[in-house]
Structures are given as C-alpha cells and as structure tokens.
Amino acid sequence: MRSQHVRALMSMTAFLAISAGVYAVPPTPLQDAYWRMEEGEPGTRVKESSPNLATGTVLDSINENHMRRFTPDPPADFHAPIYSTDVPGSIIPATAEPNTLSLYFEGGFPGGIGGVDLYADTKPINNPLVTTFTLEASFKSDAVGPGLAQTIVCKESRSDDATSDAPPLSLKITGTEDPRLMIQLRDKGNNLVTIESLAPIEAYKWYHAAVVGTVQQVSLYLDSNDGAGYVLQGTAPVSGGGPLYQGANNDYDSTWSIGKGMWERNLRDWFKGFIDEVRLSNVALAPNQFLWARSRLPGDLNKDWKVDIDDLVIFEACATGPAVRYDPQALPDGCTLEADPDGIIPADIDGDRDVDMADFSVLQRCYGADGDDPTQNCGD
C-alpha cells in the first residue's frame, strides 16, 4: 500500500474533522469535469504538480478539478502514468474534437509500495450534493482474469467511515474467471448497488463505459467497439433520494481517482492498461449524448458505419420510384430492410413513404463516407 499517500490522506481527514466547525464549507452541486489526457508528449510521464496541492497537471477541460499524480519523498516519477498515442479514436464523435493521447497505467507495484494513478484532492467535486450524474470512461486493459481486479474510476472511502467496506463508487473490471465490467456504488441511503456487464471484458480491446445515476436508478452502458454502439447492460434501483452516498450530513468529502480502487479503506485494484476521456457530468445524459455515440450516415443501410457498394445493392432492391408507396409489411422482392415503429424503412431517407431519386441523391452524396468521421454532413 502506498503508505505516504495514505498517511497524508488520513492526516488531512483528521484535520478537517477537528476543524469542521471553523473551516467546513457547505457542499455544492456536483460540477462537470472532463479529463482528456491531452497535456503531455508521447512516451513522457505526467508531470509533477506545483507545491500548491490545488494545482494538478492532468487538466479538467471544463472546470478546475485538475488531477495530480502521487510524488513520493524523495520525488520520483514511477507513480506517474505515461502519455501514449494508443487511443480509441482520433476524433470524439460528441464534440468533433481531436483525440491524440491517452494515459498508460502500469498497475500496482510489488512489496506494498502502491501503484500508478491520478487523483483530485481538495476539489469542488469531492464534496458535492448529487441527485443525478453521468460518468464516462474509455479503457483498454493489458490483462484480465482471476485475481486481476482493476479499477478505472473511483470515489474513494474516507478513513473515518466504517459503515461499508466498499468505496462510494467504483467502476472496475472484476478479477474473475469471466471478467466483467462492474459499477459498484453506495446510494444516498448507503445501500450497496452493483451492476455487471452482460459479456466478459477482453484484454487489448478498447471499450467505452457510461454510468448514469438518478434518484430512481443506476444504469450501466457499454460500447464494445463492435458496431452496436452503447448497449444497456443493466439497471438497479437506488434509495435514499440519490445515486451516490454523501454521508449522514451531506459532508462526505473524499477524493475522486483514476487508475486505482479501494476496499476496507485501503488502496488496491490498480489498473494496468490505457485510460482515456474520463467525463463526469452533473446530469443524467441520454445514450445519444455520450462521448462516443455516433449517428449513422444516411445511406448506411447495412449498419457498418460506411456507405459503399453493399448499401447501393440494398437500395436498388428496395427502390419503388417517385410517389410509389411501399408497404412495410410487403416490401419489394429482395428488400430485406426492417421498418421502424413508424413504418419507415432506412432506404426511405427522406421519410416520404417511397424510395426514389430524392433518396438516391442523398445516398450518392454520402457514398464513400466513413462514419468514424463525426464531421460528415453529407445528408444535409
């Protein structure tokens, strides 16, 4: 265990507890925070923070909840993650911003001297009033399986809280025979809530996770980079009026961290692999608002995220001609498309109940387009 870090955390907690009557600050609503991991150069480690502990070097691009690495005494770099060009995509679909870097975390070290992680101490996000939130993170692990539990994002336990062995929130890969992505959190009523992914997590593969919490429930979504987009993995009810534990007096001031977890108030479950694009929002986002949500291109009839000859063949089989309406229950021979709840098939791009030259002109403009580029506007 990283003893210096733990002692510092416990000392600060004790100081705050003793001084609460003088220095306590009322909690504020959860702030948005977005750590993009874009500050460094490939192959270099995250830089040391300034002597002012409120300053971090992994920047929050929305507010000032910057994260910092742990620096032992004497100073050394081995606890700092490394900037890498291995990214899940070159452009963020939700923002059209370029994505050039991720951070590589080397996991935990033998001998109980901790591991590699980032954390945000003394930040506004650490003591919030929470009624809704969305947590997103992209990750790619080097190894998964029995004994390899790995935490991606954690809201840590407080040293004086013995009400639960679990931290308030942990997004992690389970260390089981069939490792799953798991969100485990304590709701405002301090009840432990757990959801696991439907399928096992594979090593050396990028995933995009999203956790949505409301006063009614918590939901886990996962994009496995298989073309299906974000898929709901499960939901679980919450109680107590909120999706995240805030202490008996709404005073649960504890650190958010990336790359490590906790259990029984001890640091553990260090992540080994790549983490990118971690975003914390103070609203319950819809799946089409998640960072890596993509809108399919008009004309992508076989749903492979591009418009090519295969889509043209499907279109030709479904063509009816101008003002010739189709019956969604009896489509032309060879047309295998399925109608949506309104009875519109995908080849009917303008939704006017026929498949004609107006639809073909859109397909023609989008021909050759790649859905990995969120800046495409060929359908306009």
pLDDT digits 0-9 by tens, 7-47: 333 333 333 233 333 334 567 899 999 999 999 999 999 99
3-state secondary structure of 280: strand
Is the distance from CB of 273 to CB of 150 less than 8 angstroms? yes
What pLDDT, on a 0 to 100 scale, did the predictor assign at position 49?
Answer: 77
Domains of the chain: 3-289 (2.60.120.200), 295-380 (1.10.1330.10)
Residue 110 preceded by cis peptide, ω within 30: no
* Phi, psi angle pair for 72, to nearest 5°: -70, 175
165-171: list long-range contacts, CB under 8 Å, 24+ apart. Answer: 165/263, 165/264, 166/192, 166/263, 167/254, 167/261, 167/262, 167/263, 168/244, 168/245, 168/252, 168/254, 169/135, 169/244, 170/261, 170/262, 170/269, 171/135, 171/137, 171/209, 171/211
pTM of the model: 0.80
What pLDDT, on a 0 to 100 scale, did the predictor assign at position 227?
Answer: 81
What pLDDT, on a 0 to 100 scale, did the predictor assign at position 112?
Answer: 74
Low-confidence residues of the chain: pLDDT under 70 = 1-26, 50-55, 372-376
